[in-house]
């Protein structure tokens, strides 16, 4: 993966976290991510640092969601969307 792609993915995860917090009113604790002292705008940092930040932030968001929401409650599977295919 190119560095530019990692930066975009890093920014996307930050936006996902902020969106989740805004829609649920829950704060996602990201102590491990914050300890890395890296953000998507730190373009001077190397690819390895951004990969670690992406994995750390993603892990903390997923861990928070799993610990605060029962995965078997409130999920409705939309059968109509399964059979839809698009042609390019």
What is the predicted pLDDT for the residue at 69?
80
Q: Domain range spanning residue 14?
A: 3-68
- The domain that holds 47 is classified in CATH as 1.20.1270.110
* Within a domain: 87: no
Threshold 0.95, pTM exceeds: no
Q: What's the 3-state SS for the chain?
A: CCHHHHHHHHHHHHHHHHHHHHHHCCCCCCHHHHHCCCCCCCCCCCHHHHHHHHHHHHHHHHHHHHHHCCCCCCCCCCHHHCCCCCCC
Residue 77 located in a structural domain = no
Is the pLDDT confidence value at 74 over 90? no
Q: 5-62: per-residue pLDDT in tens?
A: 999 999 999 999 999 999 999 999 999 999 999 999 999 999 999 999 999 999 999 9
Q: What was the pLDDT predicted at 1?
A: 85
Q: Give me the mean pLDDT over the 73-85 stretch.
A: 49
pLDDT of residue 63: 95
């Amino acid at each position: 993966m190119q560095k530019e792609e990692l930066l975009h993915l890093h920014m996307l995860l930050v936006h996902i976290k902020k969106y989740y917090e805004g829609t649920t009113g829950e704060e996602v604790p990201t102590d491990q991510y914050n300890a890395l002292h890296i953000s998507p705008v730190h373009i001077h940092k190397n690819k390895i640092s951004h990969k670690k930040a992406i994995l750390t932030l993603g892990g903390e968001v997923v861990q928070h969601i799993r610990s605060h929401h029962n995965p078997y409650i409130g999920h409705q599977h939309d059968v109509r969307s399964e059979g839809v295919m698009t042609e390019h």
